Amino acid sequence: MTFLTGFILALAIATAALLVRQRFASFASQTPDDYDHREPQFDIRQKLNGPIVCEGVVFGPTGRVTSRFVADFEASWQGNVGILKEVFHYDSGVVQNRQWTLTLGNDGSIRAEAADVVGVATGRQAGSAVQLNYRLRLPADAGGHVLDTVDWMYLTPNGSIMNRSQFRKYGIKVAELVATMRPKLAA
């Protein structure tokens, strides 16, 4: 075996190992079925309802924190259709307003729309978790890139929600968000 053949074979094995790891042993490999029987049950109509405070960080491609934020949410539901209004206050001084329209199917499926989502977000609530998949268009001042997003929310035993999202471009992770959400206490 020549050096070049050995190098190509080693590269192919390493690539295959990375693909297997990503598919079966990573954040992207989990499914809503993994949480189907876990308690407490996450009903987004109850837990994403009323005033909510959210605090989080955004990690860049190197794993370092690139941004921190505090956000105020206001959610309301009419049957299986909900409106979630979000106001983010970033450590840079930027304020971002977003609004989601969420539609919950009787089978736990979720369809969601927002102005910066390309097409429709789809997902499912199951057991103690909610998953959404969508394509997010960044603001023009952030390059206007469209990122593939996997968004997971996990209900904790005390009723808080842990949110973890990964953002990818061409399959490469370019950012990650970790946040908490909980009902906002009356002042």
- Cα(73)–Cα(36) distance, rounded to whole angstroms? 26
Q: Kindly report, residue by residue over 50-62, the tens digit of the pLDDT.
A: 999 999 999 999 9
β-partners of residue 106 are none
Let me know: does 184 contact 71? Beta carbons within 8 Å. Answer: no
According to the model, what pLDDT value does residue 75 have? 97
User: What is the 3-state secondary structure of 9-41?
Assistant: HHHHHHHHHHHHHHHHCCHHHCCHHHHCCCCCC
Domain ranges of the chain: 1-30, 34-183
Tokens of 67: 């941004």
Looking from the CA of 110 toward its CB, the CA atoms found within 13 Å total 25
What band does 187 get if pLDDT is binned at 50, 70 and 90? Answer: low
CATH code of domain 34-183: 2.40.128.20
pTM across the whole model: 0.82
Let me know: does 90 contact 96? Beta carbons within 8 Å. Answer: yes
Q: Kindly report, residue by residue over 97-119, the tens digit of the pLDDT.
A: 999 999 999 999 999 999 999 99
**Average pLDDT for 166-182:** 95
According to the model, what pLDDT value does residue 185 have? 83
